[in-house]
Structure 1
Amino acid sequence: MRTIGGFLSLLVALLWLGLENAGAVTLDSSVAVTDPATLQALERGGLSISRLLGPALGLTRDVDNRGLFSVPALTTVRDTVKREIADEPKTSPDPYVAAMAKSNDTSQKFNPKYIDDDGSTLDLTGVVNRMDRGYLGHTECGEIRLIYRFHYSVQEKSVKGKVGQRISSRLPLTMSLVFNAKPGKAQARASKNLPSATDASCADVARRWLAAGRKDLPPEQLAAWLRSDEGPLSGAMLNSSQIMRLELNMQVLRLSASTRRDFGGHAEYLLKIFKWDPEKSSFYEARMENEIDRSTVLADRPAFAKWLLTDRNIYDLDHGRLVVDEKLLARSAVSVAPGGLSRSQNNIVFGLVDDADIDKALKDYVARGNTLVTIKSVAGFNLRLNEMSCTGCHQTHGIAGFHYTGADPASEPRRNAVFVPGSAVFFADLPRRRAIVEEFAAGGHPDFTRGFAARPDARYAEALKGTDLYNGWGSICYRGEDESFKGWTCGAGLRCAGVHESAIHPGFGTCVSEKGIAVGDPVEFGEIRMSTWGSDRYCRLSPATAKDCGIDPRATRSRW
């Protein structure tokens, strides 16, 4: 879950980004459309999820979002999600959650009726250029993602002749419709701005996005240009023939502080992927990219270690490009909060490979003349492997379980609005993504290397100057001597404080005010202890109420 510090850091960053000024060169220029007014205009202009899916589903009429999940091609999505919601308490490794299965209390679970309720819709909240994923085998130019968030509008029951009030809000659920960034031959020829005899190249796609980043237009006009023959979101450049999959992130469970006393609450997020089958014109449940299935690997740990610790895979992991063998992957994942990467359930690879084997493999790799760029230790190897999974990245500096929620439009009541469209991880990674788009546009071969998700690569420190996203207040920092993280420091006037100590990732903290406690700084510090994988307990160290945990706060005061 997000911290106040993380939220305010993003707010400062957004003020610097100048999102109110369409003409300013911002972090999201050429790599994302985040302005709510522009997104609403794009949705009206043909980018509603129902309009995009219509041709792919063979529909002869427009389908309103409210009836979308009644379409046969999407019934697998609907039925699978409802089943997962029902089964979650039974299958959770957390004893608090599993105990729910023994009761009939469903008040703290996501109501599955919202999925296909007439009062629910899907609103476009973001369009994100992911050409940085061009290293994957399924697409040479990467991907384009259209992110939708569930929205409900419910009429309360009438009481004593008085008409009930209509309640409207966003649900903690997002769906990403993922497209191949490269249009097919027929679509490319339909564009007036591409040669009729050739396919659109990656350079063509990238140049359109760079041109979009230079536009200084009001929302309606910008949306119209983006959808025009010249824009990156024209019908020729983005259409149903390029649909690859549907990605789901939803909060399925939230326990109150009275139920989960040690953590003061508990939330669980279901992550799923549904791939598109063009022959059957439907989505089907698929294995998730790099989301390792623990039971499969634990059944033969030596074979997994042998596969993972080859020079080829160490190189790809070090550069952030590892693709785990599909037979080792899961079809569902659940991430938990609070606690982020300190929670064992968010560390899906914990204990799957012996540290001694990793250490030997890294030393042998270097001895053979190879160079390690990012992972320079066993701890770095483990963190990198974990954060490349869905669960490992999900709670890394996120906003209440999401890396992209989308900002709410001006019409949303301010007391119930989301002002920051993306997490610190989202914004901090944009300079790297833009550099890749620029390299594509120049006809070159991009360097797809990336740093850790939790910490922006030092190569882009200058691009993030003036924000709190690199070494700033709320940034993730490190207080130990491990070679992989020793450069994770805090800027002037800040210190690194351990908020959630953990044996899984020891020494990590958050950059806070150096002198005393300032507004927004965390005021509670603790340690997360694990009895078995998936079963964690939070022990508060400061204020000192940790007697039941057997912790002497005096011996741990240096941590905060």
Structure 2
Amino acid sequence: MRLRSRLLAVLFCLVSVDARAEGSGLAIADAQALHALEASRFGLAQMLAPASTQPIANDLLFALPGMAPIHAVLDVAFTRYLADHSARSPHESIGVGAGHDVLLFDRAMLTSPDTRFALAGIVNRMDRAYVAPESCGEIRLIYRLVRSNAGTTPSRLPMTLNLVLHAKTADESITCADLARRWLAASTFTETGQALADRLTAADGPLAAVNAAQIDRIETNLQIGHRPKSEAQDFRTDYLQKVFHVDAATKQFREAPMENQIDRDRLLADPSLGRDFRDWLMAPDNFRALDRGTLLIPEKFLATTSLAATPVGFAPSALQPAFGLMADDRGKGVFTERDVVTALERAVAQGGALDNIRSPAGFARRLSDITCGGCHQIRGIGGFHFTGADTSGGQVVQGVVPASPHFVGDQPRRRAIVMSMRDGKAPDFSRGFADRPQARGSAELAGTSVLDGWGATCYRRDKGRTDASFASWTCADGLSCQRVSGSADSRIGMCFVK
């Protein structure tokens, strides 16, 4: 009960800092404004099929030629999840609705006439311009699955669909600097609702030229299974993540390898492939890129599925792909501590001290948090980082926490990058660990639950010994770093009252 109270309090703490995410101008979470934008031209159907004039239900959405492959892939993923669960936990029943040990997401909801994807947020990710500089980074339209039956208020379901766009439009007269200037100007907008939607889409607004031609991919994240807490077991929730790139020729979305989602099982099963990955990653330039958080792992080492569990402390090791790559006591693994220490020494000798990785433990943690699944396991709200505004009802909801601590803590870094782009300067794309914001945001975030305040992630010193990768993970005055029951790593704790 004490742990549960602490975790709930951490979520409530977010209410005091979520305004920082919206106020940065890089995340649109005003519920009425989003409702107006969706009703105009930013509904999922309007973006995918520009001839559409209004939002549509999912039975019609997945009937669109481009969307059919997504439904087929997700259906196969459900079948595989059921088979894997039966093999792993034959004593547990799994199914839709009450009465099962594990509650399964009702896949019928994906194509039901009673569900649709409602626009829940728009997020500027120009900080990802290091992936493809010519695209100026990304803009993400985030849709939340909602359900409504006749005569009832729509309810949100645990699934998001991100429509990821290239930030750069076809209008060559609009540069990256112009786009950055428009987004930063949005932080000064005081309007709400329809008035805010009008300013955002005005000729000089950040959404003025956004159109379907900018679509790069769709990312899906859904709570596929949930095991409620009981006297015999702790609760656990599994989140299935997939990525689908648009085929320029057919306009269909095709399943694709997920950025930096390491295929742990394949690397362990194929020693030759594992050695190739080790040698590639241990090269000084790649090791330094890993430290900075800008590493892009070649597709031959990647998986097309992420199955992330929360809380992390209760997840089977198979659900934590990067951690499983460190060699165990029997020597099974891709990397040894000596491999990491040697690579660290070479990277430092070549380019100076690193910012984050200063030990094998720091390497393992960084290797996990650059993966899709690892990142969503860390400081998320469940398995999500941006749950968005609730625009599903007739009276849309304001003031609901729209983002996770990780999302909020990353806003100062993202804003600094967009400011550099506006000013024509070379951006610093580096980032800290998913658990702790970078020092460049410390002044703005000091004392909050995302840095060193109550509920912040911290490092527990063990008999005076300090791991150099986490030495700065401290707590504000009056708080101490305490272990969280069930944590996968006893050294990582949370800041609570002494």
TM-score, normalised relative to structure 1? 0.79
Q: Distance in 2 between matches of 1:247 and 1:200?
A: 27
In the other structure, the counterpart of 1:169 is: 155
In the other structure, the counterpart of 2:328 is: none
In the other structure, the counterpart of 2:468 is: 483
3-state DSSP class of the match of 1:376? coil
Q: Shift of the alpha carbon at 1:500?
A: 3.8
Residues 253 and 9 of structure 1: CA distance in aligned 2, closer, same or farther (over 3 Å): closer
Aligned 1:27-106 pairs, distance under 5 A: 28-55=23-50, 59=51, 64-66=56-58, 67-92=60-85, 95-96=88-89, 105-106=95-96
3-state DSSP class of the match of 1:429? helix
Residues 342, 501 of structure 1: 8 Å contact kept? no
Residues 59-89 of structure 1 deviation map (CA, whole Å, 9 limit, x = unaligned):
5765624311111210111121122112203
Residues 255-298 of structure 1 deviation map (CA, whole Å, 9 limit, x = unaligned):
2334x9332x2211100001011210110111100001123212
Aligned 1:433-452 pairs, distance under 5 A: 433-452=414-433
Alignment gaps of 5+ in structure 1: 20-24, 156-164, 189-197, 515-560
In the other structure, the counterpart of 2:277 is: 304
In the other structure, the counterpart of 1:244 is: 216
Residues 15 and 409 of structure 1: CA distance in aligned 2, closer, same or farther (over 3 Å): farther
Q: Shift of the alpha carbon at 1:6?
A: 5.1
Out of 254, 257, 260, which is 2:229 matched to? 257
Q: Distance in 1 between matches of 2:218 and 2:305?
A: 14
Letter in 2 for 1:475: A
Q: Does 1:512 align with 2:496?
A: yes
In the other structure, the counterpart of 1:550 is: none
Letter in 1 for 2:409: A
Residues 386-423 of structure 1 deviation map (CA, whole Å, 9 limit, x = unaligned):
10001111111111211111132595899x99821000
Letter in 1 for 2:202: S
Letter in 2 for 1:149: R
Residues 506 and 60 of structure 1: CA distance in aligned 2, closer, same or farther (over 3 Å): closer
In the other structure, the counterpart of 1:14 is: 15
3-state DSSP class of the match of 2:262? coil
Residues 123, 151 of structure 1: 8 Å contact kept? yes
Residues 412 and 478 of structure 1: CA distance in aligned 2, closer, same or farther (over 3 Å): farther
Aligned 1:405-424 pairs, distance under 5 A: 405-409=387-391, 419-424=400-405
In the other structure, the counterpart of 2:331 is: none
Residues 322 and 228 of structure 1: CA distance in aligned 2, closer, same or farther (over 3 Å): same
Q: Distance in 1 between matches of 2:204 and 2:351?
A: 48
Q: Distance in 1 between matches of 2:315 and 2:146?
A: 31
Residues 408, 418 of structure 1: 8 Å contact kept? no
Q: Distance in 2 between matches of 1:323 and 1:483?
A: 25
Q: Does 1:497 align with 2:482?
A: yes
Q: Does 1:355 align with 2:329?
A: no
Residues 132-151 of structure 1 deviation map (CA, whole Å, 9 limit, x = unaligned):
10111375411000000000
Residues 369 and 408 of structure 1: CA distance in aligned 2, closer, same or farther (over 3 Å): closer
Q: Does 1:389 align with 2:371?
A: yes
Q: Distance in 2 between matches of 1:230 and 1:429?
A: 27
Residues 22-70 of structure 1 deviation map (CA, whole Å, 9 limit, x = unaligned):
xxx7664221101211111111221111111113xxx576562431111
In the other structure, the counterpart of 1:329 is: 302
Q: Distance in 2 between matches of 1:216 and 1:325?
A: 44
Residues 167-210 of structure 1 deviation map (CA, whole Å, 9 limit, x = unaligned):
631000000000000112xxx2xxxxxxxxx4421101101101
Residues 209 and 368 of structure 1: CA distance in aligned 2, closer, same or farther (over 3 Å): closer
In the other structure, the counterpart of 1:209 is: 183
Higher helix proportion: 2
Q: Distance in 2 between matches of 1:166 and 1:410?
A: 11
3-state DSSP class of the match of 2:32? helix
Residues 31, 398 of structure 2: 8 Å contact kept? no
Q: Shift of the alpha carbon at 1:489?
A: 0.9
3-state DSSP class of the match of 1:267? strand
How many equivalent pairs are there? 474
Q: Shift of the alpha carbon at 1:254?
A: 1.2
Q: Which moved more, 1:329-338 or 1:81-90?
A: 81-90
Letter in 1 for 2:244: F
Q: Distance in 1 between matches of 2:336 and 2:183?
A: 44
Letter in 2 for 1:401: G
3-state DSSP class of the match of 2:401? coil
Q: Which moved more, 1:285-294 or 1:492-501?
A: 492-501
Q: Distance in 1 between matches of 2:349 and 2:367?
A: 22
Larger radius of gyration: 1
In the other structure, the counterpart of 2:104 is: 109
Residues 358 and 53 of structure 1: CA distance in aligned 2, closer, same or farther (over 3 Å): same
- Extract structure 1 runs of 4+ deviating beyond 6 A: none
Letter in 1 for 2:428: D
Q: Which moved more, 1:137-146 or 1:404-413?
A: 404-413
Out of 218, 230, 236, which is 2:204 matched to? 230
Q: Shift of the alpha carbon at 1:11?
A: 3.8
Q: Which moved more, 1:240-249 or 1:354-363?
A: 354-363
In the other structure, the counterpart of 2:194 is: 220
CA RMSD of aligned residues (A): 2.6
Q: Shift of the alpha carbon at 1:94?
A: 8.1
Q: Shift of the alpha carbon at 1:93?
A: 9.7
In the other structure, the counterpart of 1:118 is: 113
Residues 90 and 418 of structure 1: CA distance in aligned 2, closer, same or farther (over 3 Å): farther
Residues 314 and 83 of structure 1: CA distance in aligned 2, closer, same or farther (over 3 Å): same
Residues 406, 422 of structure 1: 8 Å contact kept? yes
Q: Distance in 1 between matches of 2:381 and 2:388?
A: 11
Letter in 2 for 1:377: S
Q: Distance in 2 between matches of 1:343 and 1:509?
A: 20
Q: Distance in 1 between matches of 2:153 and 2:424?
A: 51
Q: Shift of the alpha carbon at 1:166?
A: 3.4
3-state DSSP class of the match of 2:49? helix
Letter in 2 for 1:218: T
3-state DSSP class of the match of 1:331? coil
Residues 448 and 223 of structure 1: CA distance in aligned 2, closer, same or farther (over 3 Å): same
Q: Distance in 2 between matches of 1:94 and 1:465?
A: 47
Q: Which moved more, 1:370-379 or 1:27-36?
A: 27-36
Alignment gaps of 5+ in structure 2: 98-102, 326-333
Aligned 1:541-552 pairs, distance under 5 A: none
